[in-house]
Amino acid sequence: MEPFSLLSGVAVPLDEANLDTNQLCPTRFNKVPKGPRFAQILLHDRRFNADDSEKPDYILNQEPYRHAVIAVAGRNFGVGSSRETAVFGLMGFGIRSVIAPNFGDIFFSNSLKNGMLPVRLPAATVDALMRQLLDRRGAQMTVDLPNQKVTGPDGNLHHFDIEPLSKRRLIRGLDEITHTREYGAAIKTFENNQRKSAPWLYS
């Protein structure tokens, strides 16, 4: 997994609540193997017409947002289907961090497993950041994972919470399966105990 530490650059305001994973990755693209095609798949039906021509009005089709590395979005970001292709789309486009008041649980986990950082900030803070981004086109932001700080377009710092283990994995780009292998003996012990306490699961 690609490590995540300090991220600075153009932040795109996705000024919409409830951007579910069906919007982030329309269903028909779920069968696409992981790869560069996902840059085009992100929010495909918002960005492209039926003939695949771009919709110039959509913010991700405008400069400098084609180079956005951070997105600020409304509440309930990534609810719905468990499709990890939603994260592949964001990562493929170049967005490494999404800031929102809350996230769908599965999307949140999927992000962390791909080296993408979902940042939860209070709704009022997200609103303020959104307004600044809408007022100052192309404004930059910074997400500092080691210090758990977001720097807004106005230079103000906002603290965010993240689980320590997730933080450590992201900063080091640790592979979760490799990490879990260290618990091999504990898993074996669990299975031996469960074989006695719930033998019907083993017959």
* Binding stretches for another protein (CB under 8 A): 17-18, 20, 22-23, 26-28, 30-31, 33-34, 45, 50, 74-76, 79-85, 87, 102-107, 109-110, 113-114, 163-166, 176-177, 180-181, 183, 186-187, 190-191, 194, 197-201, 203
How near is the Cβ of 8 to another protein at its closest, in Å?
Answer: 26
Task: Return the number of the residue (50 or 63) whose C-beta is nearest another protein.
Answer: 50
Residue 69: CB atoms within 10 A of its CB come to: 19
Residue 27 CB, nearest approach to another protein (Å): 6
Which C-beta is closer to another protein: that of 78 or that of 152? 78
Buried b or exposed e, range 86-112, using 16+ CB within 10 angstroms: bbbbbbbbebbbbbbbbbbebbbbbbb
Give the C-alpha separation, 193 to 198, whole Å: 8
User: Residue 156 or residue 180: which is nearer to another protein going by CB?
Assistant: 180
- Give the residue with the Cβ less far from another protein, 45 or 144: 45
Tell me the sheet residues that pair with 80. none
Looking at the DSSP bridge assignments, the partners of residue 118 are: 98
CB of 87 to another protein, least distance (A): 8
Minimum gap (Å) between residue 59 Cβ and another protein: 15
Min dist CB 197 to another protein, Å, is: 8
DSSP H helical segments within 58-147, as ranges?
A: 85-93, 105-113, 123-135
Instruction: Output the CA torsion 92→94→97→98 (10° steps).
Output: -80
Q: Which is nearer to another protein, 110 or 132 (CB)?
A: 110
Are 37 and 92 contacting, i.e. CB atoms less than 8 angstroms apart?
yes
